[in-house]
């Protein structure tokens, strides 16, 4: 069962589903912001039996902290954190009763590691990580597995929506130096990082499928090995100074080297995608 909050957007999925539509794939309405909508969807499933729950809905947010209203920060948490909590409250008790089930959650490497100008988004994904790290032990006792999928940058609608929102950010309360850091430095790095390190949604889906079908599902699973050294820094130094200094030097002192590494990675990514397209017969 695939769900979406707005069924008017179902056409692309129906096209991809092809002959599976209404045979092995059903599309249902579900808004993670509404307990009623979640209940309606779960009640429509025979015996309310969900074997594997994949929490994927999420929204991004970038920009200086002063540029976002409290209402928009609360909306972000309402989807990224409370949305997951609403689903769990509806589905986890049934899984406990049956003593089986698998909860798969689309977290992010930004649930492990903070990032410049992603303060609120990181906080929402840290909340997800903390919640499930706490729940995982109890779940294990009931035979329920939990897996957090932690992608790095993914080239999807997410990125397009973020850049669209940046155009309408209210920077009037933000000092000039922070504005320059955000618009001049962050935005150019962000686009380079997405092109250099970005995975496709299909790649992340394939990794997710691997986690779902594995005999002993991992609790944490990073989909992008290029990003792993960055998250590892944090565990190497409990004082937190090592990752902070590493980021500081990378962005402010060795920025040329950083940009050159990104350019090299971009070229490798381009080559990888070209080879993949050839392999799938999509190349020129």
Active site residues: 121
Residue 219 near residue 200 (C-beta atoms within 8 A): no
Q: In 3-state terms, what secondary structure has residue 135?
A: helix
Token look-up 């080879």 returns: 275
Cβ-based nearer residue to ligand NAP, 33 or 217: 33
With contacts defined by CB under 6 A, how many residues of the chain interact with ligand NAP? 23
Q: How far is the CB of 9 from ligand NAP (least distance, A)?
A: 6
Under rule CB under 6 A, residue 106 binds ligand NAP: yes
| Binding region for ligand NAP (CB under 6 A) out of 95-103, 135-143, 157-165, 232-240 | 157-165
Q: Which C-beta is closer to ligand NAP: that of 63 or that of 174?
A: 63
Give the one residue of 38, 50, 54, 58 binding ligand NAP; rule: CB under 6 A. Answer: 58
Region of residue 234 (phi > 0: left; psi between -120 and 50: alpha; otherwise: beta): alpha
Residue 208 binds ligand NAP, judged by CB under 6 A: no
Q: What is the DSSP letter of 184?
A: I
DSSP 207-237: HHHHHHH-SS--SEEES-TTTHHHHHHHHH-
Q: What angle do CA 103, 108, 111 make, to 5 degrees?
A: 100
Residue of the chain from 156, 179, 261, 269 that contacts ligand NAP (CB under 6 A): 156
Kindly tell me the burial class for residue 105, based on how many C-beta atoms sit within 10 Å of its own C-beta (0-12, 13-18, 19 or more). buried
Least distance in angstroms from the C-beta of 153 to ligand NAP: 4
Per DSSP bridges, beta strands 101-106 and 52-55 are: parallel
| Beta carbon of residue 57, minimum distance to ligand NAP (angstroms, whole number) | 3
Least Å from the CB of residue 125 to ligand NAP: 7
Residues that bind ligand NAP (CB under 6 A): 5-6, 9, 31-33, 56-59, 79, 83, 106, 108, 151, 153-154, 156-159, 161, 201
């Amino acid at each position: 069962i695939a769900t979406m909050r707005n069924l008017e957007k179902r056409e692309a999925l129906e096209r991809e589903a092809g002959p599976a539509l209404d045979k092995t794939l059903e599309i249902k309405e579900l808004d993670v912001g509404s307990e009623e909508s979640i209940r309606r969807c779960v009640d429509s499933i025979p015996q309310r039996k969900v074997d594997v729950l994949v929490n994927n809905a999420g929204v991004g947010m970038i920009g200086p902290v002063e540029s976002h209203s409290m209402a928009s920060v609360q909306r972000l948490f309402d989807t990224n954190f409370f949305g997951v909590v609403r689903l769990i409250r509806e589905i986890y008790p049934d899984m406990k009763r049956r003593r089986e089930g698998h909860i798969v959650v689309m977290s992010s490497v930004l649930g492990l590691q903070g990032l410049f100008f992603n303060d609120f988004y990181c906080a929402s994904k840290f909340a997800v990580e903390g919640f499930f790290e706490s729940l995982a032990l109890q779940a294990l006792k009931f035979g329920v597995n939990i897996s957090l999928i932690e992608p790095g940058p993914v080239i999807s609608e997410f990125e397009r929506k973020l850049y669209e929102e940046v155009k309408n950010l209210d920077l009037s309360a933000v000092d000039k130096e922070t504005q320059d850091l955000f618009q001049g430095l962050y935005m150019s790095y962000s686009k380079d990082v997405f092109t250099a390190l970005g995975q496709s949604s299909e790649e992340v889906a394939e990794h997710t499928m691997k986690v779902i079908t594995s005999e002993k599902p991992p609790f944490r699973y990073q989909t992008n090995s290029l990003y792993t050294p960055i998250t590892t820094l944090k565990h190497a130094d409990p004082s937190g100074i090592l990752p902070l200094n590493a980021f500081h030097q990378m962005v402010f002192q060795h920025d040329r080297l950083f940009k050159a590494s990104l350019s090299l990675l971009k070229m490798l990514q381009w080559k990888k995608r070209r080879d993949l397209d050839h392999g799938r017969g999509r190349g020129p």
